[in-house]
Structure 1
Amino acid sequence: MAGIDCGTNSVRLLIADLGRDAGAGPEHGRAGAPGADPPLTDVVRRMEIVRLGEGVDRTRRLAPEAIDRTRRALTGYAAEIAAHGAERVRMCATSASRDADNAAEFVAMVQATLGVTPEVVTGDEEARLTFAGAVGGLAATAAAPYLVVDIGGGSTEFVVGTGTVDRAVSVDIGCVRMTERHLRADPPTPAQIDAARRDITDAVDRALTAVGLAGRSVSAGPTDGTPTLVGLAGSVTTVAGIALGLDAYRPERLHHATVSYQQVAAVTTDLLAMPVAERLRIPVMHPGRADVIAAGAMVLQIIMERAGVPAVVASEHDILDGICLSLR
């Protein structure tokens, strides 16, 4: 089977074999038990930065060049899918294509290139697929409840649950959107950083209220009911890689690595002070992420502050795995 996740910043492919013990699928809000082996076996996992949502926050339209970048990536993915004989294919498109007035152009391109119709999923469905992909395979020591956050390019998903999803919400504070809206200087000015912090904090507080985790403070330390924070997507794993001092982007080291709030805060401060050219010299940095990583790091830091969690568990498994699980 093959799953494709097309977000605001990147388009990703997972071709996987599905084990027989996968259990109930993410459309029912269920995920694999923590401590259990993941029910998916990776065959191919790829990611391309296409910046589909470039300018959408301002124009409400997908730019022709952004659609073409995505088409080229999908052409390569279609060849991979055919070469491996994947029997089932599901593509989910998230924030950028939800927001665009010309989403029909994007859908037609995908149908012509990939042979399937992309599902422009709702924020709620996006969050539930994310939870299903992220929680399965967590260490047994990762205590429930879980707060899963997926920091994308256009939006961030918050999901709270145990083995099932209890509450979920999506808010428009992705790393691309916040960079385009606020952090336009290189490096950002103090005034731009303050404006971004206010915007992100307001959205995070609304999201935490919606999922029942408002009114916490990281300075107070963990208390009974403090959730295990599981952070997904490139902003989180890149921040984790920087905090761990990795000499290259190493998924096997990053998957389920734990990073403290203090480490995240220090990395965020450093990134905000760096011009893009300096960020590009960081060993774990993907070139297509360097201009937006500071905003993503800010989102992560503020989530940790406002949710009162002392550490984040980084995960390489996310909505992409949830999409494949839904094809069982």
Structure 2
Amino acid sequence: MSTPTAAIDCGTNTIKLLVTGPSGEALAREARMVRLGEGVDSTGRLSPAALQRTFAAIDEYAVLVRRYGVDRIRFCATSATRDADNAEEFAAGVATRLGVRPEVLAGEEEAALAFAGAVEHLGIDPDRAPEGDVLVVDIGGGSTEVIVGTAGRSIPRAAYSMDIGSVRLHERHLRLDPPGRNEIEAAVADIEQALDDCPFDLAGASTVIGVAGTITTVAAGVLGLASYDREAIDRQVLVAAEVREHARRLVAMTVAERRGLPWMHPGRADVIGAGALILSGVLARSEASSLLVSECDILDGIAASLFDEA
């Protein structure tokens, strides 16, 4: 492959771009919080304002794609567009701006790409964990994927996509600022029900890897960083009990208090409490003593797939 490629991951809250060079090196990595899935859980539609924000970000990405001479683009859309009645309006807008139509990923494919992005990046040695069991957790705005596989292999053995995410759960339950006790209990009940429905045992894996913005942001807080630092977060091993305690503190804060945290992106401050509750629930079910954090996720899996197809 002689020219750069571009991977785009468009989720419920964030749209991300990774431009990769001929040797697989990252030439550009960008993220914009556009909240495409705002209100989808209640209305079933992508709102005009959300579409406008997302298209503005895609226009910026189109400039970068042309600047790097990209000849192949894979644009993947996840939870918000799976659920929206007017997804065709979104697809047409993407095609006009980038010349490709978005692939709306099924939850299982989304999970497999997230697993590949995390595990290949970390280069996990099968000897690190008994029987090589690895659980990858990817908390998005609209859905959460839990994926079980074998260390040293990029293809997972089992995956489950839960219809809970930071934006969806926040809009559903956490309306007060800070959230009330009854609201938090309702959100936790939703999480527990989703975990009850998971067809495999999360406690079966001895290595738990967390990916995507909710988890990396929580990790920044546990580490007490002075600002969000991708390199300082990547590959950190955190004590699960400390992660869960930090999640409890985040949920109890007001949005203004969260925005005042030096490592918090303002576009994530309102929904991070819901995402933290999901992470806490998954860690409790997994019975993990620690959490390995990866800055590589589904976006990196999408980028890798372009090389696999070449």
Q: Same fold (TM over 0.5)?
A: yes
CA distance in 1, matches of 2:101, 2:206: 37
Deviation at 1:57, TM superposition (A): 0.3
Counterparts of 2:121 and 2:96 in 1: how far apart (Å)? 36
Q: Distance in 2 between matches of 1:145 and 1:3?
A: 28
Q: Which of 9, 19, 27 is 1:43 aligned to?
A: 27
Provide the aligned length of Structure 1 versus Structure 2.
296
Say which SS state the counterpart of residue 18 (structure 2) adopts. strand
Determine whether 1:271 maps to 2:257.
no
Distance 1:142 1:320, change over 3 A: farther
d(CA) in 2 for partners of 1:104, 1:142:
45
Task: For structure 2, list consecutive stretches of 5 or more residues without a partner in the other structure.
Answer: none
Correspondence for 1:193: 184
Q: Which amino acid aligns with 1:8?
A: T
Q: Does 1:284 align with 2:263?
A: yes
**Is 1:6–1:93's contact at 8 Å kept on the other side of the alignment?**
yes
> Corresponding residue for 1:213?
201
Is 1:8–2:12 an aligned residue pair? yes
Amino acid at match of 1:82: R
Contact residue 226 and residue 308 of structure 1 kept, 8 A? no
Residues in 2 aligned to 1:99 and 1:89: alpha-carbon distance in whole angstroms: 23
1:106 equivalent among 90, 107, 120? 90
Partners of 1:109 and 1:137 in 2: CA distance: 32
**Structure 2 length as normaliser, TM-score?**
0.93
Query: What does residue 50 of structure 2 align with?
Result: 66
CA contact (8 A) 1:18 1:325 kept: no
1:17 aligns with 2:2: no
User: 1:24 matched to which residue of 2?
Assistant: none
Distance 1:239 1:158 in 2: 18
The structure 1 residue matched to 2:221, chosen from 224, 242, 247, is 242
Q: Distance in 2 between matches of 1:142 and 1:252?
A: 22
- Is 1:170 the counterpart of 2:161? The answer is yes
Mapped to 1, the partners of 2:63 and 2:101 lie a distance apart of: 17
Instruction: Classify 1:256/1:64 alpha carbon distance in 2 versus 1 (closer, same or farther; 3 Å).
Output: same
Q: Is the 8 A contact 2:259 2:269 kept in 1?
A: yes
Amino acid at match of 1:15: V
Alignment counterpart, residue 86 of structure 1, candidates 49, 67, 70 = 70
Runs of 4 or more off by more than 2 Å in structure 1?
Answer: 139-144
Matched, 1:183 2:174: yes
Pairwise CA distance, 1:301: 0.6
RMSD between aligned residues:
1.2
Q: Does 1:314 align with 2:289?
A: no
TM-superposed CA distance for 1:169, in Å, is 1.2
Give the share of equivalent positions with the same residue, in percent: 50
- Distance in 1, Cα, partners of 2:22 & 2:167: 33
SS at match of 2:17: strand
Letter in 1 for 2:90: F
Question: Pick from 37, 44, 47: which aligns with 1:53?
Answer: 37
Which residue in the other structure is 2:105 paired with?
Answer: 121
Shift of 1:205: 2.5
Residue 158, structure 1, aligned to residue 146, structure 2: yes
Q: Deviations over 1:94-113 (max 9, x none)?
A: 00000001101000110111
Q: TM-score, normalised by structure 1?
A: 0.88
Report deviation, 1:236. Answer: 0.3
Q: Point out which structure has higher relative CO (alpha carbons under 8 A, 6+ apart).
A: 1
Mapped partners of 1:206, 1:116: distance in 2? 36
> What is the Cα deviation at residue 294 of structure 1?
0.6
Is the alpha carbon distance of 1:142 and 1:182 closer, same or farther for their aligned partners in structure 2, counting shifts above 3 Å? Answer: farther
For the Cα contact (< 8 Å) 2:135–2:205, is it kept in 1? Answer: no
Deviations 1:60-94 (A, max 9, x none): 00001101100000000010011011121100000
